[in-house]
Amino acid sequence: MEADFVIVGAGSAGCAMAYRLSEAGASVLVIEHGGTDMGPFIQMPAALSYPMNMSRYDWGYQSEPEQHLNNRRLACPRGKVIGGSSSINGMVYVRGHARDFDTWAEMGAEGWSYADVLPYYKRMETWHDGGHGGDSTWRGTDGPLHVSRGPRDNPLFQAFVDAGQQAGYEVTGDYNGEKQEGFGPMEQTVWKGRRWSAANAYLKPALKHENCDIVRGLATRVVIEDGRATGVELVRGGKTEIIRARREVVLAASSINSPKLLMLSGIGPAAHLAEHGIEVIADRPGVGANLQDHLELYIQQASLQPITLYKHWNLFSKGLIGAQWLFTKTGLGASNQFESAAFIRSKPGVEYPDIQYHFLPIAVRYDGQAAAEGHGFQAHVGPMRSPSRGAVTLRSAKVEDAPVIRFNYMSHESDWEDFRSCIRLTREIFGQDAFKPYSGKEIQPGADVQSDEALNGFIAEHAESAYHPCGTCRMGRADDKNAVVDPQGRVIGVDGLRVADSSVFPQITNGNLNAPSIMVGEKVSDSLLGKDPLPKANDRPWIHPGWATTQR
């Protein structure tokens, strides 16, 4: 079995590359260990808490005990299914702030400034504003990825935006357009009532091309001959075989599995590889390092009116919603229920937003446990640019062993300060007049949790991952010893091998990672095909004119 390009991983970036490469006439084989994405748990947007807790669809990774979070092990779900994590995620669509990408370029990822990536964001999406306003000139009109907005029927969605405005913050009609900062509608990768994963958007159309196919199996290592990647070894049906790449091998296996595969193939920190008896092909200390993520808290408030989704928190109502969705793809089942959002700055002197909000009209945990108090609502809130860095390392030289994942969360004093700000700013927003008709008592953290010390205790016990791991195969200049890939995604020190997924991010972006991961796949595809990048955009993003002296 051989093809021009062999891609490991049918996730967000892998599906996009399969589509673009096969569309251009190249032959592509995609290796994926997971199974089918068919079935209501994945395709029904409101069922999002199920697939990420099912071992059938998730690799089931966990962090090592996190020393600053009471030694808790935090879940690190990664999609093990067609569509990868885009098939098990919350379907929230956030491009990231313009300054994120300008920072990438400053960090050595030349050609990845906002002016460079905006044309790819436009190319990949078909945007549906749903009558809620927005910036059509900043958005795409005919890409494979449909981006829509929920109906925002529940009055709490508007109350959240109104409360933000009353507290003195900006409003924005489109945080993915000119102006990220402010309160407004949230966007989702949902189309015609279905989860619009990278598999639905890109892989299924790609597989209609005769030159694109998928191979089910577990990739065990990249085959490297005389310094060049020539194929991928995989196990399927208990047998080991090699799939050959005539042009290049591309790893798009996630920020956890891409560095693991590089290390198993002899590319990584030499001393660490030697510990596991792996022959060193390229000593790249950056492989597995620079691990970043977003943490968040759920700030929960009881609702005085029985208008929250809690009224559907019973088998009968869930059955009705499921049936309506199954037959008509409409109703509550057709949205992820994240329909209002906000991006704000934590303090004066912060140039662009560093706090994100997802608002939800129910008080519930990600694993589907509803708050005992019944009717309530919540804001998921967390800082966007933590200075804490962790690492992914090998547990052994065996491919079946999960890697060691240490995020090193909350390892800087500023992390604690930022999180305390998040809690206090959220309480102030929930205390505005817009919420007066609805706001009962604070469920979590609880009104008695006020001092820095008490808040720190709450954070240590309740902070959860937002499931945005990235950065472990950092992009940078070819002469940067800690970079893993160059700005074309080429692994430094090995020919014919690239990485293209969230592991190449030099720094985590502002918001959820599915959109920038797909964008990386889109952009690297052009590079793989030897095409010139799309012409730069000239659009100037909005930056708060008073950012240096005011917080809002």
The answer on 528 and 415 residing in a single domain is no
The answer on 129 and 219 residing in a single domain is yes
The CA-based dihedral angle spanning residues 542, 132, 333, 90, taken in that order and rounded to the nearest 10 degrees: 0
SS3 content of the chain, % helix, strand, coil (to 5): 30, 25, 45
pTM of the model: 0.98
The answer on 342 and 284 residing in a single domain is no
Position 538 in a domain: no
Residues 6+ apart with CB under 8 A from 22: 28, 206, 209, 211, 212
Residue type, 390: G
Contact 472, 405 (CB under 8 A): no
The answer on 344 and 274 residing in a single domain is no
Position 254 in a domain: yes
Q: 200-231 burial, b if ≥16 CB within 10 A, otherwise e?
A: bbbbbbbbebebbbbbbbbbbbbbbeeeebbb
CA 330 to chain centre: 26
- How would you classify the pairing of strands 355-360 and 376-383? antiparallel
CATH number at residue 337: 3.30.410.40
Summarised one tens digit per residue, pLDDT across range 372-408 is 778 999 999 999 999 999 999 999 999 999 999 999 9
The answer on 137 and 29 residing in a single domain is yes
Position 312 in a domain: yes
The answer on 214 and 268 residing in a single domain is yes
Residues 6+ apart with CB under 8 A from 136: 127, 129
Summarised one tens digit per residue, pLDDT across range 205-249 is 999 999 999 999 999 999 999 999 999 999 999 999 999 999 999
The answer on 475 and 374 residing in a single domain is no
Position 540 in a domain: no
The answer on 141 and 12 residing in a single domain is yes
Which secondary structure element, helix H or strand E, spans residue 443, and what is its range? Answer: strand 439-444
- Tell the burial category of 131 from Cβ atoms under 10 Å away from its Cβ (0-12, 13-18, 19+): exposed
What is the predicted pLDDT for the residue at 368? Answer: 66
What is the C-alpha to C-alpha distance for residues 196 and 391, in angstroms, rounded to an integer? 31
Return the number of other C-beta atoms located less than 10 Å from residue 417's C-beta: 15
CATH number at residue 509: 3.50.50.60
Domain count, the chain: 2
The answer on 158 and 124 residing in a single domain is no
Position 7 in a domain: yes
Name the residue among 502, 507, 497, 536 with its Cα closest to residue 521: 502
Q: Which of 447, 462, 477 is the last residue of a domain?
A: 462
The answer on 219 and 174 residing in a single domain is no
Contact 292, 277 (CB under 8 A): no
Position 541 in a domain: no
Q: What is the pLDDT along the chain (552 residues), one digit of tens a residue?
A: 999 999 999 999 999 999 999 999 999 999 999 999 998 899 999 999 899 889 999 999 999 999 999 999 999 999 999 999 999 999 999 999 999 999 999 999 999 999 999 999 999 999 998 766 778 899 999 999 999 999 999 999 999 999 999 999 999 999 999 999 999 999 999 999 999 999 999 999 999 999 999 999 999 999 999 999 999 999 999 999 999 999 999 999 999 999 999 999 999 999 999 999 999 999 999 999 999 999 999 999 999 999 999 999 888 999 999 999 999 999 999 999 999 999 999 999 999 999 999 999 999 876 667 777 789 999 999 999 999 999 999 999 999 999 999 999 999 999 999 999 999 999 999 999 999 999 999 999 999 999 999 999 999 999 999 999 999 999 999 999 999 999 999 999 999 999 999 999 999 999 999 999 999 999 999 999 999 999 999 999 999 999 999 999
Residues known to be catalytic: 468
What is the C-alpha to C-alpha distance for residues 536 and 101, in angstroms, rounded to an integer? 13
Contact 222, 128 (CB under 8 A): no
Which secondary structure element, helix H or strand E, spans residue 282, and what is its range? Answer: strand 282-283
The answer on 208 and 330 residing in a single domain is no
What is the predicted pLDDT for the residue at 133? Answer: 72
- Tell the burial category of 128 from Cβ atoms under 10 Å away from its Cβ (0-12, 13-18, 19+): middle
Position 365 in a domain: yes
The answer on 164 and 142 residing in a single domain is no
Q: Which domain holds residue 314?
A: 151-185+295-383+411-462
Position 542 in a domain: no
